[in-house]
Structure 1
């Protein structure tokens, strides 16, 4: 089932990433945090369908989407032209990247906009979870870190949440972790057999991170991702 949603707010997060609040008055969105909806529109006589993940919790008439603009991206360019008062078509909410157990410690390992499904999952875990959560977000530079203020605020208000940023191309002033998320797993975590690991990002990052977790002793059933990434990335 699709809905016509009104853009009630649109604002820039980083030079290439914007957030959009979409509202369907009278409708309550019901989904598992981490699942995605779709934006649908016509271009050149053909329907374009692209998945985007709400960063907010379910139970309201709004969806909050974080969308990075790509120069050759039909859907991202379409959305970045939207302003408050415009309407967009959103599709059903579905997906397999959801919290498996709120009673276990968790790690959310993301790169770039792979963070978006994890924002709602983090909020759900802080509300319902009984253990420790650690978000590790990889980005290129400081100015491209999305939801940095939100994550830092969540960590400041929740002692059971840690947040670590990893930059692949930091400037000389950066004193945090450098490289890639998968490079720092062994130094950031000391237990790999009981914690649940959720991985989302560009396919090479997901595949490499899952392989590294397995090498460090994480059981297969403790490593969660959407699952399609392995089919598009080789083992080399």
Structure 2
């Protein structure tokens, strides 16, 4: 099943990420926060073709950052030089119609009574933010949100996250930049390299991970080496052959 959604707001989130608020009339989305929807359109031949021919249907997954229960979804989409779907979406304006697929996917909060960690890079933050909001509404434990970006300018949802941290005493927030910057006193490098310092123990909480496949694999290995049970690590990485060149919830 597909839905025709109207673009009701567009916001420039970072230099290469736009946030789109989409509304489907007479519908209420009921899905698990962390699941994704697909943006679907017919390729018109403009832009980088790659393996896609004009007239072919393009289907790409993006994860809503807002909670279900309304007819609106908020998608944060990064523009990629070779990304068909990201180029298509970045050309959308208020009032345009976008075709969406049903929410699906297996990334969602498992146990609300457990302590949790959300670990992401780039636009892998989108399911993490949705699950964080869900957990803060329903969870009973401690949550540590760890996010990696290239530099401060490319940190997505920073004000939103800092606002949530100020409102919830059970939320700790850590940003990691891959590029060193003047006056930045925070952590530098890759998020997976800091997990041993951030947690006294990793076997006492559930870990949710999202980013490019390489980051996901390395984070899984790091958590395993630190003593996290494999069954308490839930991860998702967008494989290139599943989403096409440059599209999807990764960085």
Q: Residue 170 of structure 1: CA displacement? A: 2.3
The aligned runs of 1:11-22 (5 Å cut-off) are 11-22=11-22
Distance 1:147 1:228 in 2: 20
Q: Report if aligned partners of 1:95, 1:226 keep a CA contact under 8 Å in 2.
A: no
Give the TM-score normalised by structure 2: 0.90
Does 1:83 pair with 2:93?
yes
Please tell me the root mean square deviation across aligned C-alpha atoms, in Å.
1.3
5+ residue gaps, structure 2, are 44-53, 243-251
Distance 2:238 2:137 in 1: 29
Deviations 1:2-40 (A, max 9, x none): 000000000101000010000001100010000000000
Relative contact order, CA 8 A, sep 6+: which one is greater?
A: 2
Q: Residue 173 of structure 1: CA displacement? A: 1.6
Distance change (3 Å), C-alpha of 1:144 and 1:228 = closer
5+ residue gaps, structure 1, are none
Q: Report if aligned partners of 2:27, 2:71 keep a CA contact under 8 Å in 1.
A: yes
Q: Report if aligned partners of 2:29, 2:71 keep a CA contact under 8 Å in 1.
A: yes
Match of 1:36 in 2: 36
Match of 1:124 in 2: 134
SS at match of 2:179: coil
Q: Report if aligned partners of 1:105, 1:194 keep a CA contact under 8 Å in 2.
A: yes
Does 1:213 pair with 2:223?
yes
Distance 1:41 1:107 in 2: 35
Deviations 1:21-68 (A, max 9, x none): 000011000100000000000011000000000000000000000000
SS at match of 1:210: helix
Q: Of 181, 192, 199, which aligns to 1:182?
A: 192
Does 1:65 pair with 2:72?
no
Q: Report if aligned partners of 2:205, 2:232 keep a CA contact under 8 Å in 1.
A: yes
Match of 1:3 in 2: 3
SS at match of 1:192: coil
